[in-house]
Amino acid sequence: MTPAAGNTTPITTVPSNSDRETLFAKLERSMIRSRVMAGLDRVREQGKKLGRPSVGRKVEEAIRQQLDAGHGILKVAAMVGVGSGTVQRVKKEMMVVR
């Protein structure tokens, strides 16, 4: 069979190996995602809290006291035993309140 006049698309095409690999990868990713989402939904139904635990009020108060004393973010983080991101968050919250 020959293509119709003006039509240059072949009648049949065979997917290349890279096309098959791409298709398989998309299918596999979709299956993984559906399993992960099902697991997260199951955990939520059980009433469990997802995410990192928050620092306690006592720790946040200690951070505020050290910041008010004039210590820097890295020094406060080392003194209190938390990450610098936690100290930055508390400092930012202090700026909003004032």
36-90 confidence digits (pLDDT tens): 999 999 999 999 999 988 899 999 999 999 999 999 999 999 999 999 999 999 9
Residue 1 pLDDT > 60, yes or no? Answer: no
pTM: 0.54
9-25 confidence digits (pLDDT tens): 666 666 778 888 999 99
User: What pLDDT is stored for residue 37 in this prediction?
Assistant: 97
Distances in Å between the alpha carbon of 33 and those of 22, 39, 40, 64, 90?
Answer: 16, 10, 11, 41, 35
